[in-house]
Structure 1
Amino acid sequence: MSRTTSIEPTAPPGSQATAGGLLARLGAVMAGNAKIVFGVWLVVLVALGAAAPSVFSSLAGAGWQADGSESVRVRELAQQHFGGNSSAAVQVVVHSDTVTIQSPQAQRVLSEIGEVFAGDSRFGAVIAPQPGTSISPDGHTGILIAGADASTDDMVKAVDEHKDALTALAGDGIEVYPTGASALWSDFNKANHDAMIKAELFSWPVTLAIMVLAFGSLVAAGLPLLLTLAGLVASAGGLVLLNQVTPISVWAMNFAMMFALALGIDYALFIVARFRDALRDAATRRDAVAETMDTAGKAVVLSGLTVLVSLSAVLIVPAPAVRTMAVGIMLAVLFVLLATMTLLPAALGALGGRVNAGSLPYAKKQQHRSPRFAAWGNLLHAHPWPFAIGALLVLIALSLPTLGLKVAMPSIEVVPADAPVRQGYELVQAQMGEGAPGMLQIIAPVAEATRTAQLAAATDGISMVTPPQPATDGSGMVMMQALPGVDPSDPQMGAILDRLRGALPADALVGGAPAENLDLQQALNDYFPLIVGVILVLGFLLLLVALRAPVIAMLGTVVSLLSTAAAFGVAKLIFQDGHGASLLGFTPQGFLDGWGPVFFFAMIFAIAMDYTVFLLATAKEHYERSGDPKIAHIDGLAHSGRVIFAAAAVMVAVFFTFALADPLPPKEMGIILGTAVLLDALLVRLVLLPVLLRLTGHGAWWSPTWLTRILPSISFAHHR
């Protein structure tokens, strides 16, 4: 029965509170100095919290590129030598059904557009619409180009600041739409930010309800949310400060919000549940904290390290946005982990038995060793094969569609239909051709200009090539624009780009927004196998060091791939094939967003290993005490099953709220991660992995003598 009376807050010097390992002593110190810990955290949160509110306006908006690629080189040359007429330039589409671009009314609007750009040094040369190139055949649509004289991130911020002023110039039958890559990222980031905030606001009350049901106590349920809030505030402020050193993608905070909430609750659940159990037998609340940190605390540290290691592998990809997204999550995990190791033990030490305050009636009889999960463990122990085969069949069946998965960079359809950038994009297509919004840029030496233009025009898939334009600084280069015959997101675009690059002289370079997307996609595809390998190896090594058991460390790592593959199989059925698209409210693109496999693999594997650590660390603790694999299997599940189930329920609720978002990327993220957690918790951690413990018996915990000698000795049992 849960104890609700208060226990002595501290223990005398030299008491049991200092027994156990390093984390036990750390927990005892935190619990014994709660006021100091609270004070330090208050200072940290006030300092970082001052910067936190500006996180979304401060962070970078672009960075979706493959550093070192040919397309990035073209953009850099265009900004240096061609007045900024690069893929980052802002294109303003001006259209009228009643007058032509050459009319006084349209010319006046174009002049006013130029004045908007003239006052901002981030914009380079302004190029008025040109007949034959940037004016439609009927003369009613023109594209004004404002060159980019700043980084891609600064150009997105410039559009953020000026797009309202630009669209306000529309009127009297004349339409004005800022478009181009910088405008696309501006509208794209805003739509995703709004969707993420709405989803987060919706997920908090759902999360609190699940916490109350899991703990049966209002105080115990509130602790994980307070811990998560501290981690969120600290990571938001930290990202703003880090952005002063190197540009951090705004997506980093979006992912950090999601992961801080999910993992913060996971860790707090495990710690608080174990603390409530330790209170029953500990002499003091400080002893209870020490025991909790010596057992569950080790599992949380191992889990946090596993998450950090998995995400660190993403840093290999030479794409700033992808790297900084990983950095954002890692920073959030670090702060949540730090709060779990310091702030939470201090709070538990201060609360003692009052952690059970506000208990619901059913919680009075709640035990840390769940009778239901103990019964489930006994059932799995008695009949392992039917459950193992059933779980494997479901996971394999869901994984098979992954073989036909296609990936590509997002199309214009990921921004809302009423966004100016999309309206301008579609207008340009209607007036100037399918490929007009995604012109390819070719830069070549003057000596090769004529030959390059002829070869480009003769390339299959290229509809038109503009006359070569010399560099503005006399650098001996020319630029020409090549009009593809297909939409920039069409699957044929990659083949057209390859043919064009293959046909041109060696000194000619091909870039432009479509080329940048394709080069980034190629980099992501190339690095994906390496990232998977690094994550698997490092995940296995961490489990091996912690558990000192190569068999179960290997099995725990391998089965994590099953839930990952099954989640991508479901993603293929939904987002590529369109099953359930009408129910979820989106139009399928026919592919999964290109950054998905790399990033989602790391995230799913990190979460899967999170639950693996909770289950195996608890099982190892009971094996160390009893030496009996049956007790380790059943009691490991009985003591961790409810926590894994509740933590998974929270994660699924958090992730699936993002499925309600209108933009496609948050929807993809929510459904893929939510499905992965659901499958992993129910089929892998609560069925397949316990069955593997049953089937391997003592062998699960066996280790060769030579390996035992070189590995550090880590015990998950608390020794009083």
Structure 2
Amino acid sequence: MRAVAAPPAPPPLRRLGHLLVRRRRLVMVVSLLATLAMAVLAAGAVGGLSLARFEAPGSESDRAGAELAERFGTGSADLILLVTARGGDVNTPAVAAAGQALTRELAASGGVAEAASYWTRGRPATLRSEDGRHALVVARIPGDADAVRSRILPELVPRLTRGNEVISVRSGGGEEVFRQTVPQARQDFVRAEMVIFPLVFVLLWLFLRRAVAALLPILVGVFAMVTTLALLRGALLFTDISTFALNLTLAMGLGLGVDYSLFVISRFREEVARGHDLHEAVARSVERAGRTVIFSGVTVAASVAVLLALPFDFLRSFAYAGIAVVAGGVIGAVIVLPAILAAVGRRVLPKRDRGERAEGFWHALATRVMRRPVVYGGAAALALLVLGSPFLGLRFGVADDRILPASAPARQTQEVIRAGFPAEETDALQIVSTGPAVDVAGYATTLSRLPGVAQVDSAAGSFAAGRRIGDGDPARFAGAEGTWLSVVPSAELMEADPVRLVEQVRAVPAPFGVLVGGYPAELADYRTSVVDRLPLLLAVMFAVTFVILFLMTGSVLIPLKATVLNLLSLSVMFGALVWVYQDGNLSGLLGFTPTGSLDPSIPILMFCIAYGLSMDYEVFVLSRIREEYGRTGDTPSAVAAGLQRSAPLITAAGAILALSFAVYASAQVLFVQMLGVGMAVAILVDATVIRAILVPAFMRLAGPANWWAPAPLRRLHDRLGLSD
């Protein structure tokens, strides 16, 4: 008698689903206790976030700054005090005496390494406004960004920014600008979240039609946020994480929590509609939707993880936050949510069973597109290319005080300096000798002839337009092991192209070895370092996502198609950034001041996040198409059926995630506003035009080639692929 073969073991994720059903009360209790514990850790994480600077470690400007501080005890100004004469000008005896007293008080303050002013440096024109009403006091405050911005400046600025019958004093400078940015960004977040949560709940209720079903994704989003902050608390033990990563954490935490939960809940409803009991429906949802959520999470995490390849704490911070928030969202959707569904599943089901529509709007749209894929796909691609065309005019620049709203005190100070001072003394380039110096006067004379150079100060004298205009200051500029020079740019050049000046100064042959530093050089080196690493960043990102999608589909063409289509949607995002924030369109509506360029950090950050989220929706669509293709073996019908089942969900999830980012359009800090607007545009384009038109058009044109792979890769996928 032949033995009956044992039935095959259920897939691992379905076994996990059955376990979560059986242990649902234990899972919910443990999840609640874990959330409370992580909330305690999360509270401490917010205070531990740091204030990273835009700097390139090991660059020429970094080495110049170190040499300048070590050998000459000086460096760039970290704090600027703008002194305004109440009557007369800054040369009147009373104003001069008050200015000198203020300089001495600042120099004697804790944390201040040196301080100087218009009155203590021989009254140079570069430290006085053209109308004579304003003069500057500058200070160097060594230390990391946290020490300077969180401890020293909060004590100094309120004490020194005062007024009397003789003078009034306001604060500015790069460190003060970014110090004021942090609380403003936090206010932006609080205001946005007060709007986001109720709006998200309303949208979820409109889509799911049950209050409990609408509440569960929000709870998963909150779980993802709390988990992320708790994980960041651990990461803070061995690295610095920028406080700006908090905004990303909270926006993505809610968005991904909602995305992943919607996918699980929709699959749960679908399995119940097919006749499975609640517990079996939960297990099958974990198997199918859970697998897709995990794939999606790995893809998003891999996309932001490439930021770890950049040696910049500011950008690395977003990698840590992005990985953590994905982990929280996946755990919440695959572990916590199924246990809750097993307990309250009936309250998540629709009140009226409308039945599963095999052919609806999305099926009809996909079928129509696939009948004429060249026409529909070509028109959609052309429209996206036109919308993205402003990106061709992208100009990388550097961030300044205009990232703050016009009402910010530091920005108001910088506006006065920018408009009223003939030169930017506080943004001078510092040229440090690397050994004994010869012919300093000749070198300074040559530098002073460069376009945009207002003045060159050195131990051999002060020079402008190739002429000596003042005596030298050996006590300030000369040392036992060399010398240094200060190249003061004009206000017009700093406004137009400070990086160009850095390139010109470095191109001038020096009679001795030099290092060029100072604020413009630091910005130029940071920008160059970021841009130079873009090819590596893109190569790593494309390779990682290709491998993940290949393991999921076994296809070579589908990962390539996903990359091309994602780049199309991202081109629209970058086109919008250039059109709005570089060129200034809609600046009145959104309330910002355009500078004519974009800082490279934010577009790179947004590229990584948006690329990951685009792959998120790609995985959602592909999982349903691949499932249908495995059942029918027919690509066109699989695409139409897969789109019918996934498009409503993706559209709803995309709208909610886009809303979570779009609310940040009301932010006062320009970085936060750019992130919100750009991400909202990318998500909406990706969730609609890309998924509804270009995906079916491309897959119809590719036909059987969609699922092709060379024999060696096919065997590799059979061994390592993550198939059902």
Q: TM-score, normalised by structure 2?
A: 0.89
| Partner Cα separation in structure 2 for residue 172 and residue 686 of structure 1 | 68
Give deviations 1:613-644, integer Å, cap 9, x for gaps: 00011111111122222331122111111111
- Residue identity opposite 2:209 in structure 1: G
- Residue identity opposite 1:20 in structure 2: P
SS in 1 for 2:433: strand
- Residue identity opposite 1:395 in structure 2: L
Matched residue, 1:298: 291
- Residue identity opposite 1:59 in structure 2: L
Equivalent residue pairs, number: 696
> Aligned to 2:400, which of 385, 389, 411?
411
Per-residue deviation, 1:299: 1.2
**2:411 aligned with 1:422, yes or no?**
yes
> Aligned to 2:627, which of 621, 626, 642?
621
Q: 1:64 to 1:30 in 2, by over 3 A?
A: farther
The worse-fitting range, judged by mean Cα deviation, of 483-492 and 597-606 is 483-492
**2:495 aligned with 1:490, yes or no?**
yes
**2:539 aligned with 1:546, yes or no?**
no
Give deviations 1:366-401, integer Å, cap 9, x for gaps: 648673323333333434333212211211212222
Per-residue deviation, 1:302: 1.1
**2:82 aligned with 1:93, yes or no?**
yes
- Residue identity opposite 1:585 in structure 2: G
Matched residue, 2:506: 501
Quote the sequence identity (%).
Answer: 27
Matched residue, 1:376: 365
The worse-fitting range, judged by mean Cα deviation, of 679-688 and 185-194 is 185-194
SS in 2 for 1:67: coil
Alignment of 1:165-176 (within 5 A): 165-166=158-159, 168-176=161-169
Say whether the 8 Å CA contact 2:50–2:146 is kept in structure 1: yes
Give deviations 1:289-313, integer Å, cap 9, x for gaps: 2211211111111111111111122
Alignment of 1:635-674 (within 5 A): 635-674=641-680
Say whether the 8 Å CA contact 1:21–1:294 is kept in structure 2: yes
Matched residue, 2:709: 703
SS in 1 for 2:348: helix
> Aligned to 1:397, which of 376, 382, 386?
386
**2:200 aligned with 1:194, yes or no?**
no
| Partner Cα separation in structure 2 for residue 672 and residue 95 of structure 1 | 40
Matched residue, 1:136: 128
Q: 1:704 to 1:342 in 2, by over 3 A?
A: same
| Partner Cα separation in structure 1 for residue 568 and residue 657 of structure 2 | 18
Alignment of 1:575-590 (within 5 A): 575-590=581-596
Per-residue deviation, 1:517: 1.4
Per-residue deviation, 1:645: 0.5
The worse-fitting range, judged by mean Cα deviation, of 306-315 and 636-645 is 306-315
The worse-fitting range, judged by mean Cα deviation, of 316-325 and 700-709 is 700-709
**2:42 aligned with 1:52, yes or no?**
yes
Give deviations 1:449-494, integer Å, cap 9, x for gaps: 7255444334332211233466899662434322102357534322
> Aligned to 2:196, which of 190, 195, 203?
203
Q: 1:446 to 1:693 in 2, by over 3 A?
A: closer
Say whether the 8 Å CA contact 2:557–2:706 is kept in structure 1: yes
The worse-fitting range, judged by mean Cα deviation, of 48-57 and 661-670 is 48-57
Q: 1:43 to 1:512 in 2, by over 3 A?
A: farther
Matched residue, 1:457: 448
| Partner Cα separation in structure 2 for residue 372 and residue 715 of structure 1 | 31
Matched residue, 1:532: 538
**2:18 aligned with 1:21, yes or no?**
no
Alignment of 1:280-291 (within 5 A): 280-281=273-274, 283-291=276-284
SS in 2 for 1:482: strand
Say whether the 8 Å CA contact 2:302–2:541 is kept in structure 1: yes
- Residue identity opposite 1:355 in structure 2: V
Matched residue, 1:314: 307
Matched residue, 2:221: 228
Give deviations 1:49-97, integer Å, cap 9, x for gaps: 22434544431113211222111222333443444x4336322222223
SS in 1 for 2:458: coil
**2:25 aligned with 1:35, yes or no?**
yes
| Partner Cα separation in structure 2 for residue 705 and residue 52 of structure 1 | 49
Per-residue deviation, 1:409: 1.5
| Partner Cα separation in structure 2 for residue 588 and residue 354 of structure 1 | 50
| Partner Cα separation in structure 1 for residue 641 and residue 209 of structure 2 | 22
- Residue identity opposite 2:387 in structure 1: L
| Partner Cα separation in structure 2 for residue 240 and residue 108 of structure 1 | 47
Q: 1:546 to 1:413 in 2, by over 3 A?
A: same
Matched residue, 2:255: 262
Matched residue, 2:429: 440
Structure 1 unmatched ranges of 5 or more: 1-14
Per-residue deviation, 1:431: 4.8
Matched residue, 1:7: none
Say whether the 8 Å CA contact 2:161–2:171 is kept in structure 1: no
Q: 1:179 to 1:578 in 2, by over 3 A?
A: closer
Matched residue, 2:112: 123
Say whether the 8 Å CA contact 1:439–1:481 is kept in structure 2: yes
SS in 2 for 1:149: coil
Q: 1:211 to 1:369 in 2, by over 3 A?
A: farther
Per-residue deviation, 1:529: 2.6
> Aligned to 1:385, which of 370, 374, 384?
374
Q: 1:247 to 1:488 in 2, by over 3 A?
A: farther
- Residue identity opposite 2:304 in structure 1: L
Say whether the 8 Å CA contact 1:456–1:504 is kept in structure 2: no
Per-residue deviation, 1:434: 4.0
Structure 2 unmatched ranges of 5 or more: 1-5, 460-473
> Aligned to 1:65, which of 49, 55, 60?
55
| Partner Cα separation in structure 1 for residue 522 and residue 618 of structure 2 | 39
RMSD of the alignment, in Å?
Answer: 2.9
Per-residue deviation, 1:278: 1.7
Matched residue, 1:151: 144
Give deviations 1:308-341, integer Å, cap 9, x for gaps: 1111222222222112122222221222222222
